[in-house]
Structure 1
C-alpha cells in the first residue's frame, strides 16, 4: 500500500536533501567528528575520580575542557573563515588528540596537572561544528536548506545519546584511561574524515567576501556589534540553559526516588522526542518561525513543572515519559531554526566565526544553568528546578520576538543571493520566489556580484525567517 501523502512528502524532503552531491559524506563525517564530545566528560570524570576519589576535582577537569572550548570557539570559527578548512581540521585534531592522549597517560600522582592540560586541550577542539554549519548554505537552498539544518539538529541530538553510552561502555569494560583514549581516537579520525570530505567536495578554500559596488571593502567589525546577532546569541544561551536544566532535574528526581539508574533513560526519552521533532520539522514546506518554535520548546518545559515533587509525587518516573517525550518535540526544530538564522545574519565569509560565537553562547548557557538549577532543586525540589528551566526558556522565547525580519549580512553588509523569508504552512507568503533546487545554492567560489551594502535583499525561499 503506497504511503500516505504526508509520509511521501516527508520522505521526499530527505530524499532531495541526500541527492545533493557530497551532502551524505559531509553530514556523516561532520557528525562523526563530534560524536566524542558528549562522551568525553564521562570518561574524564571516571579517570580523574579514580585518581583522586573526588568528583569535585573530576568536575573541575571536565569543566576545564569546556571552558577551553568556549573561549576558543569564535577564534576557531574565524580561522575556518580565513584558512583552508581541511588543514585547520587536521592540525587542530592532531593537537587536540595529543592533549587527550597525554591526559589518558598522565600518572595519577600528577593529577594536579590535569586541569591546565584539559584547559589547553579544549582550546584546540577541531571546529567541525562551525565548519559544517557554515558550508551547508553553499550546498543547499530553500526548503532543502531547512531540511539540512533540521537533519543536523536531529542527528546531533542522537549524538548526545550515543556518545555518553559509548564512553560509559568503554569505561565499564576497561577503565577511565581507555575511555579518554577512545574519545581521542574518535576525535582524530572524525576530523580527518571530515577534512577529506571537504577536499572532495571542493569546499576547503575560504569563501571570498561578497562583492558590492566595486568600492573599498567595509572595515571588519566584531559580529557582536550587530544587535540582532547579539540578541540571538543571548536567546540561544537562555534556551539551552532551560533545556539543559531538564536533564539535571531528571537526575535529581531519579535520585530522590531511589532509582538513579533511570536518569539516563529519562534523558534519552527527552532526546528521542527532540529527534522526532527535528525529523518532522525537516519536512515542513514553510520557513521556520523562530519565536514560535522557541515558545513551543518552552511550553514543553512548563508542562513538566506540575508533574514533579513537591507539586506531585508520582510513584514511578516512567509515568512522566509521555510528557517528557512531548516536551522534547520542540528542541531540535528550535535549534535548527537558530542555526539557520545565524547563518543568514552573518556575512557568508564570516559564518564560521558566527557559529563559533553560537557555540560559545550555548556552552556558557549550559555552564551557568547547571549550578543555578542545582541551587533551585536544593531549595524547592525537582519542580523548582524545572520551574527555573521553564523561566529561562520562556525568556529566550521572548527575546526571539525581538529578532526582526530583515536583510541578512551582519555588520559587514548584506549578502548576495540571500532571498527573503517565505511563509510557514497556512500563511500567505510576503513575496514570490523561485522554486527550490536541490543542487548547490552557491558554488564553493561564488562569482562576484550582488546587491551593494545596505541594499534590500531579493525575495524568495531562502532568506531570513521572521
Structure 2
C-alpha cells in the first residue's frame, strides 16, 4: 500500500520541520480531552459532592468557551510564541492551584477552574491554522486535516486511558497535575519549535475589520453557514451519546456500554483509513455535503438495532463517515476563513461542534423518559438529515466563499 493513507500520513509527518511541530501539538493537546472528567474525579476525591464537581467542570468548560475565541484572536494578532508560552505556564499553574490550594465548597475552587479554562493553550487552533500556512502540496494539506480528525478520535479514547493509568500509581489530583504540566510543556515546545519562513500569520492592523470585531470570522456568511452546519450535525452526536447507554442498559448489562460506544470511534477511524485516500480528488465544497449525507444515513442504522451486538455493528458501520466529515470541515474552514484570523476561525468551528453536542445531550436527557432510546436515535436521524439538507443548500455559498489557503515559500 505505497499509495495508501498510512503511507500518506508517514510522508506528511516525516517532512522536514513538520514532524517536530506535529509531535509538540499532540503533547500540548493531551489536557483538552480529559480535563472536565479529571476535575470531577478530583473534587470527588477531595470529598465534594457531585453537584460541586459538576459546577467546577461546568465553569472550566464555560471559561474555555469564553476565553477560546479571545485567546485565538490574540494568537492571530501576536503569533504563537507569546500566546502559547503564556498559556503553557498559566494553565498548569491554575490547575495546580485548583488541586492543591482549594477545596470543595469554597469560592476559590470554581474561580480557579474558570481561570484554568480561559488559560487553556490554543493548541488545536494553532496547529490547524499552521497546516493551512505550512508549505505543503494541496494533497498533503488534505491529508493533514484528515490526520487532525483521526487524531481527535485517538485522543478522545486515549487521553482518559492515560489518566486512568496515572491514577493507578497515585491520586486523581496528582494525575491531573501531571497531565496539565505535560500539556503545558507541549505548548512551550509548540511555541518555540522552528518553522519555515512565512508560516507565521501576518500581523493584523489594530484597526482592521476582521480580528477586532466581536464575532470576527463569523461576520463572513460562508464561515457562519459552515459553523451552523457543524453545530447542527453535532446535535445528533449528543443525542446518541445519551441513547447508547440507555439502550445498552435496557437490553443487557450497563457494564458493556464502553465497548459498544467504542465501536463508534473504531468505525470512524476505519472509515477514514478505508475511504480517505480518494477524498482529496473531490473539491471540499462538493464532497462535504455528500459526506454529511452519508453520516446522516449512518445514524439511521441505530433505530433499527434490536440488541447490543446489532447496535455495536450499526455504530461501527454508520460511524464510518464521521472522521471524513470532520476532515472536510477543517479543510473548508481553512479555505473560507480570512487568512489573518485562521486560529480564531478554527476555534469558533470547534465551539460550534461542542455546543451542538451539548445541546444534543441536554435534549437527549429530556426526551429519554418520553420516547426511549429508540425514539432518541430516530430524532438524531431526522436532525442529521436536516444537517445534510443544510449542507447541500449552502454548497454554493461555501464555494463562493472559498479562497486559497495562505501560501508560504517552499
Q: TM-score, normalised by structure 2?
A: 0.89
* C-alpha distance in 1 between matches for 2:18 and 2:27: 14
* C-alpha distance in 1 between matches for 2:70 and 2:275: 31
Report the Cα offset of residue 36 of structure 1.
2.0
What does residue 128 of structure 2 align with? 133
CA-to-partner distance for each residue in 1:382-405, whole Å, 9 max, x for gaps? 112222322332222222112234
1:181/1:206 CA distance change after superposition, 3 Å = same
| Match of residue 299, structure 1, among 297, 300, 304 | 297
1:254/1:111 CA distance change after superposition, 3 Å = farther
Report the Cα offset of residue 246 of structure 1.
2.2
- Structure label with greater radius of gyration: 1
When structure 1 is superposed on structure 2, of 128-137 and 378-387 the one drifting more is 378-387
Query: Aligned runs of 1:213-252 on 2, under 5 Å?
Result: 219-220=209-210, 222-252=216-246
Retained in 1: the 8 A contact 2:6–2:273? no
What does residue 346 of structure 1 align with? 337
SS in 2 for 1:59: helix
What does residue 462 of structure 1 align with? none
What does residue 391 of structure 1 align with? 382
What does residue 39 of structure 1 align with? 34
SS in 1 for 2:224: helix
What does residue 452 of structure 1 align with? none
| RMSD between superposed Cα atoms in Å | 2.7
SS in 1 for 2:300: helix
| Match of residue 356, structure 2, among 340, 359, 365 | 365
Report the Cα offset of residue 157 of structure 1.
0.6
SS in 2 for 1:22: coil
| Match of residue 164, structure 2, among 168, 192, 205 | 168
Query: Aligned runs of 1:40-439 on 2, under 5 Å?
Result: 40-52=35-47, 54-108=49-103, 110-139=105-134, 140-197=136-193, 199-202=194-197, 205-207=200-202, 219-220=209-210, 222-257=216-251, 259-284=253-278, 285-287=280-282, 288=284, 289-307=287-305, 312=306, 314=307, 317-405=308-396, 415=403, 417=404
1:165/1:86 CA distance change after superposition, 3 Å = same
* C-alpha distance in 2 between matches for 1:47 and 1:283: 42
SS in 2 for 1:108: coil
Report the Cα offset of residue 283 of structure 1.
1.4
Report the Cα offset of residue 32 of structure 1.
1.9
SS in 1 for 2:254: coil
CA-to-partner distance for each residue in 1:175-215, whole Å, 9 max, x for gaps? 32123212212221221222233x344577433579xxxxx
What does residue 443 of structure 1 align with? 408
* C-alpha distance in 2 between matches for 1:223 and 1:376: 34
* C-alpha distance in 1 between matches for 2:6 and 2:90: 41
* C-alpha distance in 2 between matches for 1:274 and 1:338: 15
Q: TM-score, normalised by structure 1?
A: 0.79
* C-alpha distance in 1 between matches for 2:128 and 2:275: 17
Retained in 2: the 8 A contact 1:245–1:369? yes
SS in 1 for 2:408: coil
Retained in 2: the 8 A contact 1:302–1:390? yes
Report the Cα offset of residue 218 of structure 1.
6.9
CA-to-partner distance for each residue in 1:250-293, whole Å, 9 max, x for gaps? 22233344633322222222111111222334411413411111
* C-alpha distance in 2 between matches for 1:237 and 1:305: 22
* C-alpha distance in 2 between matches for 1:109 and 1:151: 39
